[in-house]
Structure 1
């Protein structure tokens, strides 16, 4: 037993030092080299911070483009998905409630035209991006409430659309916070 006990204690102490101390310090140092210096990329408007680039914001007013639903109510203190399977009755009920709510707020849109991302939450519950299609489907509502031509809103979406990473990886995306800031800046 002594033959195995001392090496086990030594190995445990070494791993605690490496993985519990040095590795986190190394990652914190690497994060300081990233944009935002490890604290997130702040989005400012008129000289004040209005949010973070990679964390979704809640927009409850219909005159704004809506982000994906959030299972954590857009609280960045803790992220999380529903962890329910696609066939789970509770999950299906939640999705149906989101579809019904979307239809109430967007009566000009057919149910079959609603992108899935507008009625399903992301894995973190904090995804700030939509595909351009999910932004375009909201144009009739925003155009009507703000009295702005739909074509102008589509141009605004196009101007705020980012292509795939290096032109290859992922989808084109629209950051909802930045889109809504640009929307407020329209005169």
Structure 2
């Protein structure tokens, strides 16, 4: 019994050193090599940090492209989905309200033209991307508010559309904050 206890204590001590000391130090070192040095990649405009590259932001002003809705109001510490299924009446009423709000702000768009990613939250509630279709469906509103031609905005959306990883994995997507920063830098 003493032999087994001694082996267990040695194994426990070794695992504590590996899992509680060496592994966290390794992960911290790898984090230092990433953009932002492990603190998150920030996006700046005019020398001022305006957001993080991997966390979505809430845009409700008609002069900006809107991102995906968030079940956690874009609060990164509470990253989560709504946990409500597609047949849940509460969830359906939230989506219906989002559709109605979108249609009020985009009168040239019909309900059928609204991409799902503009009215449904992502699994994390923090997705900074929308589909190119979701960006394009907002062009008429933004062009009208900013007094720009839709062609300029279409070109901007095309410029900020990211291809799937290696051309194969995932859909094409548009980073909303980067797109809105570029939008603010355009002259009307």
Counterpart mapping for 1:98-117 below 5 A: 98-117=98-117
Kindly provide the CA deviation profile for residues 117-169 of structure 1, in whole angstroms up to 9, marking residues without a partner as x.
00111111111111110000111111111111111110110111111112221
TM alignment of 1:45-56, pairs within 5 A: 45-56=45-56
Q: Report Cα offsets for 1:13-45 as digits up to 9, x if no partner.
A: 443433233222211111111122111111111
Partners of 1:82 and 1:14 lie apart in 2 by 41
Aligned-CA RMSD value? 1.8
Verify: 1:22 aligned to 2:22, yes or no.
Answer: yes
Say whether residues 1:127 and 2:127 are aligned partners: yes
Output the TM-score relative to the length of structure 1. Answer: 0.91
Equivalent residue for 2:145? 145
SS in structure 2 opposite 1:181? helix
Moved more, 137-146 or 21-30: 21-30
Residue 34 (structure 2) pairs with residue 37 (structure 1)? no
User: What TM-score, normalized by structure 2, do the two folds share?
Assistant: 0.91
Cα distance in 1, alignment partners of residues 3 and 85 from structure 2: 48
Aligned to 2:62: 62
Gaps in structure 1 of 5+ consecutive residues: none
Q: Is the deviation greater in 134-143 or in 33-42? A: 33-42
Shift of residue 78, structure 1, vs aligned partner: 2.7
Q: Which residue of 2 aligns with 1:169?
A: 169
Runs (5+) with no aligned partner, structure 2: none
Distance 2:21 2:102 in 1: 47
